[in-house]
Amino acid sequence: MAPKKNPLKLNPLQLRTLTILQALARVPEAGDEGPGSGEFTISQFPRPHADHFHLGDAVVSGHDATGLFNQAVWNALTRKRLARADWPNAITLTREGLAYDTGLAGEILHQAAH
């Protein structure tokens, strides 16, 4: 039996934000591993470039990133134990948060041509 999609019932904004945070966790300059085993703390956030921003070799539309600087979204991810928020300075993705399948990476992380 296939795993249930979105078992924690994240709303679309939370799913998009978690997808972006997971991508940020793969960008070494965005933060550091830890503090716990299998966690990643993001303390450097992307700067918008017109209506988008760059995450490594991917481009994200500003429209998809509206939750990235939204305290309520960070708090929701914390309540669901996918992250621990230190609003507005940093957010730590837990092992569960890093592994959560949002199903959106292919839709919002576009390969950059420039």
Residue 44 lies in a domain: yes
4 located within any domain: no
State the Cα–Cα distance between residues 19 and 38, nearest whole angstrom: 17
SS3 53: strand
pTM of the model: 0.93
Instruction: Tell whether 3 is covered by a domain.
Output: no
In a domain, 77, yes or no: yes
List the pLDDT tens digit at each of the 114 positions of the chain. Answer: 667 899 999 999 999 999 999 999 999 999 999 999 999 999 999 887 789 998 888 999 999 999 999 999 999 999 999 999 999 999 999 999 999 999 999 999 998 665
Look at residue 13 and tell me if it is in a domain.
Answer: no
Q: Is 55 helix (H, G, I), strand (E, B) or coil?
A: strand
Structurally, the chain folds into a number of domains equal to: 1
104 lies in some domain: yes
Q: Which domain holds residue 106?
A: 18-111
Quick one: pLDDT at residue 112?
Answer: 64
pLDDT at 15: 98
The answer as to whether 9 is a domain residue is no
